[in-house]
A and B are shown apart, each in its own frame.
Chain A
């Protein structure tokens, strides 16, 4: 198929349609509204379900209902709306129905603004609702990847009967890039055997997150944790750019990662071997490439310092530190509130880091975090 010039929000919506989403429920919120608008036009054209809910709270519970019927279903929102959806997400996680969500992050906390951020990282990866659960979180860096990961999201959601979140930001939602959409996926007519389709010729099915007995609920939790561990083992995804000879390794995801790529190119032009490790899955966090890093020193080639760059106050830093396990200094540069780190800012950080490494060997020493 030929490339089309597509806005991120529209690309995600159309990718979901091609992936066979049968129902969309949502509520308008900037900067994801084009996604909902695209759905409002296309879904009825295709004889599928589109409904603008009265709130995100209602939207996620409509999603819960449709998912309980065993069809591919999704919603999309941004921070303030996502917070309202946390109640439903916790129920969905416990009931183990597959659901795809898109969070096009905007500045916060509170009403904040509509500029891009990545400050929902902790909420999405660690605490998308009460109780013990994790969702798979996919972070696209380009419009093409937003399409590909949206398709993948539906497959993973069904494979693991879990929540999968496509985590973008206002920039990727609003940006246009040439990209290729997948072919139209045939709608699945068969429903999973657990779905609520009416108890015809079988025992009744029940979708519930209620387990009044502690042992029963612990069993549910054990099953959820086992599933999460299978996800950890099998689904971590990442990209490495110019890491073979890198001495300064930038860790960034989503649009920030591509901004960092520009800074890395410029740093290399100035003779500083910088590279990029980009987590594509924020959960499961890709620990393996950090374990495989060769740690450099004045004598040995290898990475001498890590620079985490985020549009947040450093929410991913803890995950990087856990993956690095103290073997390397981890430094942070971030912008918050909808401000975007520009390539020259990141380059300055790289130059400062390179300069400090020349001045004093840093193996074993940890830099203070600086925002």
Chain B
């Protein structure tokens, strides 16, 4: 007897992602995080009212990878631009996607104030402890002793201060409704990350205030590691300094779950 094969779709590209191949380096987790965001946007059926704001940094071309109305902001100013977009059309879903240099260094004022105002936007913060696009310089999140293009002898925290922990800082602001840190270095953390993305968007859809997810992300090229070693590096070196977890989950978020 012949077996009956039934075709069943078990996976496909999210509608919210474009078919353009990304320019990201092999093993970089930007693409993975894009995919998770795209899947959640599809699942929540908000693609047609979502606007993405891209940063300056490796994800500067983000608008090529999403099938979303998109803006490309000046370096660090994505939260301000998103504020303008959202305030004049509160029915839209507006998110920024920013790297560590963009958000935690040059754009620290804009992200703090978006959170302080409780701006009803969502920010995805990609922390890979390095300036990727300019070729591997020290980031505000580079770890103590980390060797980079601009800290060739290792990050000297006596001179530069300690790495900045954005999820904790933003969680301390009353305007923040949801602030968590996630990673994408293995299956379990990827699944947790996707859940958080869903929660963050739902916070915004409910008009409940500022939602923020920090992702620990890999940069094999500038860390000088293979893709799989880079994922190990996240777990071994980044997670201890940047513990995964929920730093602010306002009561209203619990009602959304």
Q: Do chains A and B touch in the complex (CB under 8 A)?
A: yes
Interface residues of A (CB under 8 A from B): 22-23, 25, 49, 51, 53-55, 57-59, 61-69, 71, 73, 87-88, 91, 196-201, 204-210
Chain B interface residue bracket vs A: 35 or more
Interface residues of B (CB under 8 A from A): 47-51, 53-54, 60-61, 63, 66-74, 77, 80-89, 92, 109-110, 112-113
Determine if A198 and B69 form an interchain contact, defined as CB atoms under 8 angstroms apart. Answer: yes
| Given A58-B109, A69-B89, A197 and B69 contact (CB-CB distance below 8 Å) | yes
What residue of chain A has the Cβ atom nearest to residue B73's Cβ? A61
What residue of chain B has the Cβ atom nearest to residue A87's Cβ? B74
Partner of A53 from the list B63, B73, B80, B112 (CB cut-off 8 Å) is B80
Determine if B74 and A61 form an interchain contact, defined as CB atoms under 8 angstroms apart. Answer: yes
Min C-beta distance of A265 to chain B, whole Å: 47
- Sample 12 A-B pairs with CB under 8 A, ordered by A number: A54-B110, A57-B109, A62-B81, A63-B84, A64-B80, A68-B81, A69-B88, A196-B85, A198-B49, A199-B69, A206-B71, A207-B71
- In the complex, besides A54-B109, A65-B83, A204-B66, 7 extra interface pairs with C-beta distance below 8 angstroms are A49-B88, A53-B80, A54-B110, A58-B113, A61-B81, A65-B81, A199-B48
Determine if B77 and A66 form an interchain contact, defined as CB atoms under 8 angstroms apart. Answer: no
Determine if A207 and B72 form an interchain contact, defined as CB atoms under 8 angstroms apart. Answer: yes
Min C-beta distance of B87 to chain A, whole Å: 5
Min C-beta distance of B114 to chain A, whole Å: 9
Determine if B63 and A208 form an interchain contact, defined as CB atoms under 8 angstroms apart. Answer: yes
Most chain B beta carbons < 10 A, residue from A53, A63, A208: A208
Partner of A58 from the list B63, B80, B85 (CB cut-off 8 Å) is B80
What residue of chain B has the Cβ atom nearest to residue A55's Cβ? B109
Partner of A206 from the list B69, B85, B109, B112 (CB cut-off 8 Å) is B69
Determine if A73 and B88 form an interchain contact, defined as CB atoms under 8 angstroms apart. Answer: yes
Determine if A62 and B51 form an interchain contact, defined as CB atoms under 8 angstroms apart. Answer: no
Chain B residues near A205 (CB-CB < 8 A): 69-70
What residue of chain B has the Cβ atom nearest to residue A58's Cβ? B80
Chain A residues near B60 (CB-CB < 8 A): 210
What residue of chain A has the Cβ atom nearest to residue B81's Cβ? A65
CA distance in complex: A109, B47 (Å): 48
Partner of B68 from the list A54, A71, A88, A204 (CB cut-off 8 Å) is A204
Min C-beta distance of B34 to chain A, whole Å: 15
What residue of chain A has the Cβ atom nearest to residue B66's Cβ? A204
CA distance in complex: A88, B74 (Å): 7
What residue of chain A has the Cβ atom nearest to residue B78's Cβ? A61
Determine if B69 and A57 form an interchain contact, defined as CB atoms under 8 angstroms apart. Answer: no
Chain B residues near A22 (CB-CB < 8 A): 88
Determine if B82 and A197 form an interchain contact, defined as CB atoms under 8 angstroms apart. Answer: no
Chain A residues near B70 (CB-CB < 8 A): 196, 204-208
Chain A residues near B110 (CB-CB < 8 A): 54, 57-58, 61
Determine if B71 and A68 form an interchain contact, defined as CB atoms under 8 angstroms apart. Answer: yes
CA distance in complex: A22, B112 (Å): 25
Determine if B48 and A200 form an interchain contact, defined as CB atoms under 8 angstroms apart. Answer: yes
Most chain B beta carbons < 10 A, residue from A25, A54, A69, A205: A69
Partner of B84 from the list A61, A197, A206, A209 (CB cut-off 8 Å) is A61
What residue of chain A has the Cβ atom nearest to residue B75's Cβ? A87
